[in-house]
Amino acid sequence: MLTKVQSAANSGLEAIGVDVEVSVSSRGLPGFEIVGLASKAVDESKERVRAAIGNSKMEFPQRKITVNLAPADVPKDGSLYDLPIAVGIMASVLGYAIPEKSLFFGELSLDGTLRHTRGAVLMALFAREHGYKNVFAPADSAPEAAVVKGVNVYALRSLEQTAGFLLRKTQLQPAVYEERERVEIQTEAEFDMAEVLGQERSKRAMEIAAAGGHNVLMIGSPGSGKTMLARALPGILPFLNEEESLEVTKLYSIAGGIPPGGSLITTRPFRSPHHTISQIGLIGGGQRPQPGEVSLAHRGVLFLDEFNEFPRAVLESLRQPVEDGTLTISRSRERVTYPCRFILVASANPCPCGYLDHSKKPCVCTPREVSKYRKRVSGPILDRIDLHVEVPAVDTQEFAENQSASALAESSRDIRKRVDAVRRIQEARFLNERIYTNAEMKNAHIKTYAQLGAEAERILQRAANRYQLSARSYMKLIKIARTIADFAEEEHIETEHMAEALQYRPRAYIIE
Amino acid sequence: MTQFLMDNIVTKENSRYPKLLAEIGKDAPKQLYYKGEWNQDLFERCLAVVGARRMTSYGRRVTEQIVSEVAAAGITIVSGFMYGIDETAHRAALMVGGKTIAVMPCGIDIIHPEYQADLYEKILDKGGLVLSEYEGTHPVASWTFPRRNRIVAGISKAVLVVEAGETSGALITADLANKYGRKVFAVPGPITSSVSKGVTRLLREGAEAVGAARDILALYGAGFRTARKDSVPRHVAGELEQKIVELLEGEPMEIDVLARQLEVPASRLGASVSMLQLEGVLSEEQGKYYVC
């Protein structure tokens, strides 16, 4: 007897339909084979299926069982074929018909229950695109799949329940996406902006970065508050819009970053990998390419603390992702494209000891050590960072004596309101473009959307000559000025906007 | 090569040998090798400026401020070509078109530290001089530094110490200056800083505290042909800009401190400061702004 069950294989963010063909034959010696470029994880599925069926008050057929995963030339990996294989085998015993236009996936536990499986949202999207009506998913993964409207998602707890439903003995209602099931990967920022003492300019830079999606580099002595500023950033980031939410959810879904029972991710991710990270950890990769930190930070923040401590090769690999916002990982078996549009926040000390040009402590580094330290980060990388900010050491005494200074500080909630408003302006502006933020503008966009007043242009020209700005920096300054003008709700970039943007230009002494 | 060296040597017997240096008697080197154009005027009025290699931004600012005025008044700045205060002093003198002499701790044909080759070239380009008592490619050694210092002190009428730790070589120079009967000036620094310790010692031992360049210029009897621009009232457009300049003339500060003192948002202040910078009124260093 031959049964066909529909499932799908993930390849990056794409899915390919897979027919799980199960042949249970009474001729030949009893056995169980899986063919069709199955990986080790798929092959092990035999043992899980055998035990799960046995433990679900059913007899595992003592026949020759052959499972073919078609198309046979597409590599298949993961544990998601447990359910379709089991459903196919059970059909030969129980004699039910496989429902039409239905997709099955899910990992089995030996006791017959279904476990949370990665990639649920991608399965559901694939199902909708290819005209499937039903998706059968493990109960823990169903809320995630239910995010996709237009397909019925059935949440299955166990094989027994599945069999009951397929035999029409029990009823099952399709799962419904509920707002309260959203996952907050980063619920709250660790700090409120109001907690950061002083640093008015750096806070302003963070506000501009959050609003326009600009990258930031902070340079300052130890203890000046660089890390605190970065960690307070999630608190002023706007919420994800629907489309962005889905993009982020997809990435976390294949990376296994969505907890059982979780569904849509609505807050922006904040990733802060340690500086010992490998190139593949940062960029993504592996035999079956997995998203790296840059992709997991998509639509959110990638915070690289101690920027100069990262291995140079790792930093250099950031160049193209930062510029393009997408990344193609090519391996011999697969080529996968992941999005990676993030705000890069980097922080660094001015020199190895950290006290170069500190007003109170002398620096103990020789010029050679300083230049060696700085050379770890190349010019091209620094050139791709929009906002360059110096974070000076804070005189804590001043704040101890003067409480009112900290009372003046705005809370993250107030700043976020402004940031939100500026994001809305950008959304309206780029309605017909494929970008969301000012930082993503290409030169053609700049011509259309970021027109400089005559005086503003003159100032920029002067600054470019005086500070010897690169062509890329020149464009970046226009983008920053665009965001600043958006804060002022001005259509054209005026003098004061350009002048403020100049505060964040790259400093010559950093790029030597 | 030999011929070249012979041309660039001044022995103690030579009439061109600096008079002040000859006065130190036994300590005076038998010969001086040099690079650049030997101009007797260079040795007329010399001020040695020495200090810590590991300076703070305060040390850098003070050195720049005092040296630029002193050098602009036509006084030759002598120093040891080391990084830190030495380097800052040489550069500040060149910046205002002043003359400067670098005394090397190594053979005349070597540049030490080599990464300051650009400064070396500039000193020679601008009519300055590079001196050494060692010929050819004599290597740098721990003992050549203190020996070099006696030339620095010897050719100068006075020595200015900016920042110095407890064991700084600048203190050796100052002690030698005392021994040779030269005036020692010292710039007071915050007592909490480790590079103020040596300076504080000097002041305790009778060095003259320097508050401004004119304290030094008085010794040289130089007229106040100062390049100090604050005698000319500034014309800065805008009320906020005027306030910014007034505050910064008192003390260089970070933009955050300015924002708090003026109670103006950092965004608005940033725009004004950028404009003032473009107009050349303000300049910025490591996050602090000061009036040029």
The complex scores an ipTM of: 0.75
**B144, B254: one domain:** no
**B112, B62: one domain:** yes
* Cβ neighbours around A439 below 10 Å, total: 24
Report yes or no on A430 lying in a domain.
Answer: no
Last residue of a domain, one of A177, A205, A235: A177
* Cβ neighbours around B221 below 10 Å, total: 7
Q: Which of B53, B56, B63 is nearest to B95 (CA)?
A: B63
* Cβ neighbours around B26 below 10 Å, total: 4
Q: Tell me the shortest Cα–Cα distance from A204 to chain B, in angstroms.
A: 7
Residue A88 and residue A66: Cα distance in Å, rounded? Answer: 11
- Cβ A362–B83 below 8 Å, yes or no? no
Beta strands in A357-479 (DSSP E): 387-390
Report yes or no on A457 lying in a domain.
Answer: yes
Q: In the beta sheet, which residues pair with residue A31?
A: A64
**A363, A267: one domain:** yes
Paired tokens of B127: 């009519």
**A170, A198: one domain:** no
Helix (H, G, I), strand (E, B) or coil at B97: coil
Q: Is the peptide bond before B113 cis (omega within 30 degrees of 0)?
A: yes
Residue B175 and residue A238: Cα distance in Å, rounded? Answer: 64
**Are B213 and B69 in contact, with CB atoms under 8 Å apart?**
yes
- Cβ A367–B83 below 8 Å, yes or no? yes
**B203, B279: one domain:** no
Last residue of a domain, one of B192, B220, B248: B220
**B107, B204: one domain:** yes
**Are A419 and A206 in contact, with CB atoms under 8 Å apart?**
no
Report yes or no on A428 lying in a domain.
Answer: no
* Cβ neighbours around A509 below 10 Å, total: 14
Dihedral of the alpha carbons of B226, B276, B262, B189, in degrees to the nearest 10? -40
- Cβ A361–B56 below 8 Å, yes or no? yes
Dihedral of the alpha carbons of B226, B228, B229, B230, in degrees to the nearest 10? -120
**Are A212 and A240 in contact, with CB atoms under 8 Å apart?**
no
Tally of domains within chain A: 3
For residue A395, which amino acid is it? D
C-alpha dihedral sign at A91, A96, A100, A104: negative
Report yes or no on A420 lying in a domain.
Answer: no
Paired tokens of B24: 């130190």
Structure confidence at residue A405 (pLDDT): 54
**A356, A239: one domain:** yes
Closest-CA residue of A relative to B190 is A360
**Are B243 and B262 in contact, with CB atoms under 8 Å apart?**
yes
- Cβ B266–A466 below 8 Å, yes or no? no
Structure confidence at residue A508 (pLDDT): 58
Q: Which of A258, A263, A266, A84 is nearest to A159 (CA)?
A: A84
Percent of chain B beyond pLDDT 90? 53
**How many Å is the maximal CA-CA distance in chain B?**
68
**Are B102 and B120 in contact, with CB atoms under 8 Å apart?**
yes
**B24, B109: one domain:** yes
Dihedral of the alpha carbons of A444, A204, A243, A122, in degrees to the nearest 10? 110
CATH number assigned to the domain comprising residue A477: 1.10.8.60
**A399, A351: one domain:** yes
**Are A383 and A472 in contact, with CB atoms under 8 Å apart?**
yes
Beta strands in chain B (DSSP E): 9-11, 31-36, 46-50, 76-79, 100-103, 129-132, 158-161, 183-186, 208-209, 253-254, 282-285, 288-291
Q: Is the peptide bond before A238 cis (omega within 30 degrees of 0)?
A: no
Could you give the count of Cα atoms lying within 13 Å of A272 in the half-sphere of its Cβ? 17
**Are A107 and A156 in contact, with CB atoms under 8 Å apart?**
no
Residue A217 and residue A510: Cα distance in Å, rounded? Answer: 11
**B49, B189: one domain:** yes
Q: In the beta sheet, which residues pair with residue A61?
A: none
Q: In the beta sheet, which residues pair with residue B34?
A: B131
Angle at B39 between CA B35 and CA B42, to 5 degrees: 100
CATH number assigned to the domain comprising residue A371: 3.40.50.300
**Are A77 and A13 in contact, with CB atoms under 8 Å apart?**
no
Which residue, chain included where needed, has tokens 């505290």? B209
**A125, A229: one domain:** no
Report yes or no on A472 lying in a domain.
Answer: yes
Report yes or no on A415 lying in a domain.
Answer: no
Structure confidence at residue A300 (pLDDT): 93
Residue A237 and residue B174: Cα distance in Å, rounded? Answer: 57
Report yes or no on A185 lying in a domain.
Answer: no
CATH number assigned to the domain comprising residue B128: 3.40.50.450
Give per-10-residue mean pLDDT for chain B (292 aa): 61 91 91 91 93 89 90 93 93 90 93 90 92 91 92 95 93 94 94 91 94 90 54 67 85 83 87 88 79 76
Q: Are strands A284-285 and A290-291 parallel, antiparallel or unpaired?
A: antiparallel
CATH number assigned to the domain comprising residue A161: 3.30.230.10
**A275, A149: one domain:** no
Q: Are strands A107-108 and A114-115 parallel, antiparallel or unpaired?
A: antiparallel
Q: In the beta sheet, which residues pair with residue A17?
A: A8
Residue A314 and residue A131: Cα distance in Å, rounded? Answer: 42
| pLDDT tens for chain A, residues 1 to 512 | 899 999 999 888 989 999 999 999 988 899 999 999 888 889 999 999 999 999 999 999 999 999 999 898 888 888 999 999 999 999 988 999 999 999 999 999 999 999 999 999 999 999 999 999 999 999 999 999 999 989 999 999 999 999 999 999 988 888 877 665 555 555 567 888 888 888 889 999 999 999 999 999 999 888 888 999 999 999 899 988 888 899 999 999 999 888 888 888 888 899 999 999 999 999 999 888 899 999 999 999 999 999 999 999 999 999 999 988 999 999 887 889 999 999 999 999 988 888 887 777 888 888 888 888 888 888 888 888 999 998 888 776 666 666 555 556 788 989 999 999 999 999 999 998 888 899 999 999 999 999 898 999 999 999 998 888 888 889 999 999 999 999 999 999 999 999 999 999 987 554 44
**B206, B154: one domain:** yes
Last residue of a domain, one of B161, B190, B220: B220
**C-alpha of B155 from chain center:** 15
Paired tokens of A42: 């798929």
**How many Å is the maximal CA-CA distance in chain A?**
90
**Are A507 and A475 in contact, with CB atoms under 8 Å apart?**
no
Q: Tell me the shortest Cα–Cα distance from A83 to chain B, in angstroms.
A: 59
Task: Tell me how far CA of residue A8 lies from CA of A71, A272, A288, in angstroms.
Answer: 10, 33, 16
Structure confidence at residue A180 (pLDDT): 57
Structure confidence at residue A311 (pLDDT): 92
**B252, B280: one domain:** yes
Residue A155 belongs to domain spanning: 2-177
Chain A residues with CB within 8 Å of chain B CB: 198-204, 220, 350, 356-368, 371, 390-392, 405, 408, 459, 462-463, 466, 484, 487, 495-497, 499-500, 502-503
Q: Choose, out of B60, B196, B254, the residue to mutate when testing the contact with A (most A CBs < 10 Å).
A: B254
Structure confidence at residue A182 (pLDDT): 59
Paired tokens of A63: 């026949």
Paired tokens of B289: 């702004």
Interchain CB contacts (distance < 8 Å): A and B: 109
What residue spans of A23-67 are helical by DSSP H? 40-43, 45-54
**B168, B277: one domain:** no
**Are A467 and A431 in contact, with CB atoms under 8 Å apart?**
no
**A205, A241: one domain:** yes
Give pTM, 2 decimals. 0.81
How far the first Cα of chain A sits from its last, in Å, is 73
**B249, B172: one domain:** no
**A232, A343: one domain:** yes
Closest-CA residue of A relative to B264 is A200
**B107, B178: one domain:** yes
**B248, B204: one domain:** no
Q: Based on C-alpha coordinates, what's the Rg of chain A?
A: 27
Q: Are strands A343-348 and A152-156 parallel, antiparallel or unpaired?
A: unpaired
**Are B208 and B249 in contact, with CB atoms under 8 Å apart?**
no
**A393, A291: one domain:** yes
Q: Are strands B46-50 and B158-161 parallel, antiparallel or unpaired?
A: parallel
Candidate from B163, B265, B271 with C-beta closest to A499 = B271
Q: Based on C-alpha coordinates, what's the Rg of chain B?
A: 20
**Are B100 and B90 in contact, with CB atoms under 8 Å apart?**
yes
Closest-CA residue of B relative to A463 is B278
CATH number assigned to the domain comprising residue B255: 1.10.10.10
**A167, A202: one domain:** no
- Cβ B271–A366 below 8 Å, yes or no? no
Report yes or no on A434 lying in a domain.
Answer: no
- Residues B50-94 pLDDT 10s: 999 988 888 988 998 899 899 989 999 999 999 999 999 999 999
Tally of domains within chain B: 2
- Cβ B115–A367 below 8 Å, yes or no? yes
Residue B269 belongs to domain spanning: 229-291
On whether any CB of chain A is under 8 Å from the CB of B273, the answer is yes
Last residue of a domain, one of B187, B220, B253: B220
Closest-CA residue of B relative to A406 is B260
Candidate from A202, A360, A496 with C-beta closest to B192 = A360
